[in-house]
Amino acid sequence: MKKLLLTGFEPFLNFAINPTMRIVEELQGKIVGDYQIHSEVLPVDFRKAGKLLLEHVDRIQPDALISLGLAGGRYKLTPERIAININDGEADNSGNVLEDEVIEIEGQDAYLSTLPIRQMVNYLKEEGLPAEISNTAGTYLCNHVMYQGLHYAKAHEMQMPSGFIHIPASHELAIQHGKIPSWSHADLKRGIEICIKVLSER
């Protein structure tokens, strides 16, 4: 059985709930397609998240890596196409405020996802779930984690498909927040399971 490292994030900024956290916790240990899932929740901290992600990769030795993040305001599931070598954004949960900081001095300016993102989007839509490829993961923690995973795989010549998927808010979060579109938790979770099954068929 192949291993998939699936990560989500804790709540952050003005989002008191992060639906990625619940998804990865519920999928921990499950078998989806060809993969047994190993789940981890990462801190929203520029100084810790990437380091912890790579520690999990070293420990688990996964065959594939998918990281999830909340994009409050988006209304589709959006696999990310590219991660850029920049940290920039509002204060993280530890109060770090970074501006135009390079993630990896020896890293490429950008890395493209090695997940089958077009197939994922096509299959999600066939299954009745709105989806599209996103061409920006931003410059906050989601981009940071995506970049770290791809850089590590490249530097270590690992044949490990790696990338990032942004999800909309859950209904629970949208009710609390008040001004963002949302999906049911069941559909969010089903969407991620579909993406994992597509990866299995690659």
Query: Confidence band (pLDDT; 50, 70, 90) for 14?
Result: confident
Catalytic machinery residues: 80, 142, 166
Residue 181 has pLDDT above 90, yes or no: yes
Q: Which of 202, 199, 201 is nearest to 37 (CA)?
A: 199
Residues 47-106: pLDDT tens digits? 999 999 999 999 999 999 999 999 999 999 999 999 999 999 999 999 999 999 999 999
Long-range contacts, 96-99 (Cβ 8 Å, 24+): 96/45, 96/46, 96/47, 98/46
